[in-house]
Amino acid sequence: IIPQKGYIVDKVNNSHWKVSPLWPLKFDYLVIDLETDYSWTVIGVPDQKYIWIMAREPKLSEEKYKQIISRVQNLGYKLEGIQKVQNL
């Protein structure tokens, strides 16, 4: 496990971060969607090649997952290559 540091770039909305896994590298992470109760979030990158769907619970319902995927697609992200990670 590599500890990472995050830095807020967009201090108005807190939606654009730089994350550094190893100095001097810094990568853009965009909070592109977020549930109002913070139960899940979607992180993307500026070139729209990658997204991460993260949730507080180990598993999202299939209905919620489909809703999130639809929202991500409406933001212009491509859905090809999306992989679900199995619960550990």
Q: What is the mean pLDDT of residues 9-20?
A: 90
Does position 2 have pLDDT exceeding 80, yes or no?
Answer: no
Residue 70, Cβ density class (10 Å: 0-12 exposed, 13-18 middle, ≥19 buried): exposed
Per-residue pLDDT, averaged over 36-41, amounts to 95
> In this predicted structure, what is the pLDDT of residue 80?
87
Query: How remote is the C-alpha of 57 from its chain's centroid?
Result: 15
* Dihedral (CA of 87, 38, 83, 52) sign: negative
SS3 assignment, position 25: coil
